Structure 1
Amino acid sequence: MSTLIFGHKNPDTDTITAAITLAEFEKQDGNTDVEAVALGTPNAETKFALDFFKLNPLRVVKTVANETEHVDLVDHNEAQQSVDDRADVTIDKVIDHHRVANFQTEAPLYMRVEPLGSANSVIYKMFKEKGYTISPLIASLMASGLISDTLLLKSPTTTDQDRAMFADLQKIADVDLKDYGMKMLKAGTNLAARSDQDIIDGDAKSFTMGGKTVRIDQVNTVDLNDIYDRQDAIVAAMQAEKDAEGYDLFVVIATDIMNSNSTAFALGEKDKLEDAFGKKFDANDRLDLPGVVSRKKQVVPVLTDSFEK
């Protein structure tokens, strides 16, 4: 049985490429019976990256215990973000760059979590520490994950280590990573081609905060008016999903990647979001979040504090 390597549900570019790059690391480390898989289909940004490098999408799995006993997790560790039957398999490795929450195992494991800009940043360090070969393709995929999660190094999650890694990856890759990166990011902002449901679920993650279930989705755009024009329909889709899933708070953060600003829509315990940022929703039921681009660093910590007061 192959060890399956996968990232979180509603996979983004970092989670897909990290599964691929960790699989390559494992093979160079002597573990050849591994397979990178996904817990969902690629979004438009990730599809652009895979198409650009002529790679097929990863095989999508809904459960894993029916085909393996061992898994490696990338780009996540929280149970609600992972495969539904995760408790039925042994987790051998976790490679992540997020907070650790709601996580426990019965067996010892290798766990590496670092506060870097992407999961691929951690994997890059693992390659360098072992002296393993980073091919132009693997370098480009690592960079794709880093570009996606840091908005081409503009996000406050970007560290000096990430910048140094990006420069090194540029020397290895066969493409101009800055030019490619901007094209990749823009490919993920074509909202006209996406349904309201896809917009609210495309990059959504669930969190437990103060015993409450909080759903936070983030959607990138180059023009916030593209979101504002669909606000009523998007909020209606949010309401239907909130009612069906029982979220205590459902937040959609629309991020202008060109100007590094965001606007939030929310349903449920909106006062917790207002408390977190010290401001009120406006007359259009929007919460202006200037300078906010990172869910991980700028939203989750302050919102968690608000729920746990």
Structure 2
Amino acid sequence: MKPSLLGLTLLASFNCVAEGALDLHTLSNNNTDNLVWVGHLSPDTDSVASAIMAAHLYGGIPAITENPNPESQFVLNYCGIDAPQVKTDFSSYQIGLLDFNQSTQLAASIQPESITAIIDHHALGSSPIRLPQIVSMDIRAWGSTATILTESAGRLKVDIPKAIACVGLGAILSDAVVFQSSTTTDYDKRYADKLAKIAGIKDIQEFGQQMLVAKSDLSHFSAESILTMDYKNFEFGGKKVGIGVAETLTAQQLIDRKSEFLTAMTSFKKEQGLDYLFFSITDTKNKRANILWVDSQDKKVLADAFGTAIKGDILVMDGVTSRKRQIGPAIQKSIEAQ
């Protein structure tokens, strides 16, 4: 197996870590009575599952910032495990962050001084969370935060229960788009196999396909809800940028609602004070992004990002499926070059 590069791993290598930081190496050093694990705004399956996994592994309680999306709820139901508690006020807790490191994706009530650890698999972007204290960080160039936590459980000799292994597997399959995404690593495949064995899931591909079907059924949601269901804020070149994604096997159903999305995007961009807003209807069946924008300013950034003359009111990009590795970085480069 070829080794995957570690993007960044900052872990204490001594018997204890700096005061206030969570020890990711030695569990007995931690007091987790007031610890909450939470992921980014608009939580996806990796954020939901990682909160459950981290609380089991390190202690504390899992939380999410809003109700699970359809795919996450399917995974929770399939695995027979309750969703983490939805919290809006984190002001009285110590916080472990999962699946992000950008201030634009941080719940408003989380104070930086309350953060004790960050476990993530994303790049350190242009607006990282600024911390007044040293915290423990484990950031790796793997396809899922759940993959990192599975490896950590093995290293710390913590058994993973069947239901938690099941949701962890769901998280890896979600972020890796059932191993079709360009972000997939050999580590994701290795630890997905391990979790599947624990969970008693014999056919990983079948489970993944059921997840894709659950994610694709968005017919009963409004355009406004779909726009922000898998949505992230960024800061590129000092500009506020929003990128929403809907991954679906039935892309044409959403493309047919293009006018609804454009209306919703126009209102959302103004309400949020965004400089740029993009929305990708990502066709997971044909591995294709169908990207929408609001105005001529957005259109110019998009044309520069992908080096193409845009004809019509939707940009179709074959082979583009990942916001993290393809869409986001291209848009960032375009904006920062202006």
Residue of structure 2 equivalent to 1:6: 38
Secondary structure at 2:97 match in 1: strand
Residue of structure 2 equivalent to 1:207: 234
Q: Which runs of 4+ in 1 moved over 4 A?
A: none
Shift of 1:88: 5.6
Task: For 2:71 and 2:117, locate their aligned partners in 1 and report how far apart those are by CA, in whole Å.
Answer: 27
Counting aligned pairs with the same residue, the percent is 29
Q: Sort the Cα spacing of 1:132 and 1:24 in 2 relative to 1 into closer, same or farther, 3 A.
A: same
Alignment deviations for residues 136-167 of structure 1 (CA, whole Å, 9 cap, x no partner)? 22221111111001110110000111111222
Within a 5 Å distance, the mapping from 1:151-230 to structure 2 comes to: 151-175=177-201, 176-230=203-257
Shift of 1:56: 2.2
Shift of 1:85: 2.3
Secondary structure at 1:270 match in 2: helix
Shift of 1:124: 1.2
Residue of structure 1 equivalent to 2:100: 76
From 253, 260, 280, the counterpart of 2:309: 280
Contact 1:249-1:270 at 8 Å conserved across structures: no
User: Which residue identity is paired with 1:18?
Assistant: S
2:294 is the alignment partner of 1:267: yes
Residue of structure 2 equivalent to 1:41: 67
Alignment deviations for residues 40-89 of structure 1 (CA, whole Å, 9 cap, x no partner)? 11000011011112222221111200x32x10000011111011022264
Residue of structure 2 equivalent to 1:150: 176
Shift of 1:192: 0.7
Task: For 1:170 and 1:63, locate their aligned partners in 2 and report how far apart those are by CA, in whole Å.
Answer: 35
Contact 1:221-1:257 at 8 Å conserved across structures: yes
Structural RMSD (CA): 1.3
TM-score by length of 1: 0.94
Shift of 1:169: 2.0
Task: For 2:243 and 2:251, locate their aligned partners in 1 and report how far apart those are by CA, in whole Å.
Answer: 18
Aligned residues: 300
User: Which residue identity is paired with 2:115?
Assistant: I
Task: For 2:44 and 2:309, locate their aligned partners in 1 and report how far apart those are by CA, in whole Å.
Answer: 30
Shift of 1:223: 2.3
Task: For 1:169 and 1:113, locate their aligned partners in 2 and report how far apart those are by CA, in whole Å.
Answer: 21
2:119 is the alignment partner of 1:95: yes
Task: For 1:280 and 1:299, locate their aligned partners in 2 and report how far apart those are by CA, in whole Å.
Answer: 17
User: Which residue identity is paired with 1:4?
Assistant: V
Secondary structure at 1:259 match in 2: coil
Secondary structure at 2:118 match in 1: strand
Shift of 1:262: 1.2
Alignment deviations for residues 102-141 of structure 1 (CA, whole Å, 9 cap, x no partner)? 2221111110111111111111121122122122222211
Task: For 1:57 and 1:132, locate their aligned partners in 2 and report how far apart those are by CA, in whole Å.
Answer: 21
Shift of 1:233: 0.8
List alignment gaps of at least 5 residues for structure 2.
Answer: 1-32
List alignment gaps of at least 5 residues for structure 1.
Answer: 28-33
Task: For 2:287 and 2:193, locate their aligned partners in 1 and report how far apart those are by CA, in whole Å.
Answer: 22
Contact 2:212-2:248 at 8 Å conserved across structures: no
2:160 is the alignment partner of 1:134: yes
Contact 1:140-1:177 at 8 Å conserved across structures: no
Secondary structure at 2:141 match in 1: coil
2:132 is the alignment partner of 1:106: yes
Select between 124-133 and 170-179 the one with higher mean Cα deviation.
170-179
Contact 1:5-1:73 at 8 Å conserved across structures: yes
Residue of structure 1 equivalent to 2:327: 299
Secondary structure at 1:49 match in 2: helix
TM-score by length of 2: 0.86
Residue of structure 2 equivalent to 1:86: 110
Task: For 2:307 and 2:258, locate their aligned partners in 1 and report how far apart those are by CA, in whole Å.
Answer: 23
Contact 1:144-1:181 at 8 Å conserved across structures: yes
2:318 is the alignment partner of 1:290: yes
Secondary structure at 1:111 match in 2: strand
Residue of structure 2 equivalent to 1:239: 266
Residue of structure 1 equivalent to 2:15: none
2:54 is the alignment partner of 1:22: yes
Alignment deviations for residues 161-194 of structure 1 (CA, whole Å, 9 cap, x no partner)? 1111222222222223321221012101112111
